[in-house]
Amino acid sequence: MRNRKIIYSNFVNIYALKLREHTDLRAKCSDATRWSSTIEMILRYVEIRDYMTQVELDDIDDLLLTPRQDKAIDRVKLRFADLDTITKALQLDSATIADSRAYFNEVIA
């Protein structure tokens, strides 16, 4: 299993190098301590997905999402963007418990 992870990791690194031939954008990494890294990863994916198909590499389909998954990413992106806005608003010194409740109701609606 460990060898398989190393091979996959090497393949991803090679892919990243080839992607640089088409764009200066880089993939974002997950940060376990910050949920906002998830939205950053999704937003970056949306930015680079058109370049991803330009990379010529065997087995590239293993890294690309299906059209259905891409549509799901677009839907999730909008939802995460809303949550990110709310999270930042709640961090303001002027935020109140009533604001928190109103934002919560907005999210679950």
The two tokens of residue 52 are: 């991803």
CA 28 vs CA 2, 7, 41, 81: distances in Å: 24, 21, 5, 16
Rounded CA-CA distance 38/35 in Å is 6
In tens, the pLDDT along 74-90 reads 888 877 777 777 888 88
Domain ranges of the chain: 2-108
pLDDT value of residue 68:
93
3-state helix, strand, coil in the chain (%, to 5): 70, 0, 30
What pTM value is reported for the model?
0.59
Averaged pLDDT for residues 18-22: 74
Alpha helices in 24-66 (DSSP H): 36-52
